[in-house]
Amino acid sequence: MLFGLLSVMDSETATLFLDMVKRGPSVLAGLPPERQILVQNEIGDAFRGVFLLVACFSGTIVFAASTLPLRRL
């Protein structure tokens, strides 16, 4: 989900993030400072979006479970 969201936002950032996962944060060192800040913000936004999605799924599951009728045997 994270890579998909990054790809939608900016495919170059998604590629950079994949390189950072493989090689570490030194990938950002070769970028200009403005681009570093932009990439960091886009990755942060993508993580916030994924965590928000997980929270929504969890809330939906809890709501659905609370509406189930309980029967005692």
Write the pLDDT tens digit of every residue in 21-59: 999 989 998 899 999 999 999 999 999 999 999 999 999
Number of neighbouring beta carbons within 10 Å of residue 13: 20
pLDDT for residue 55? 97
Each residue's pLDDT tens digit, 14-27: 999 999 999 998 99
Choose among 34, 32, 31: nearest CA to 16.
Answer: 31
Residue 69: pLDDT band with limits 50, 70, 90: confident
Q: Read out DSSP for 46-69?
A: HHHHHHHHHHHHHHHHHHHHHTSP
| Residue 72, pLDDT score | 60
Q: At what angle do helices 33-66 and 2-9 cross, to 10 degrees?
A: 130
What is the pTM (predicted TM-score) of this model? 0.79
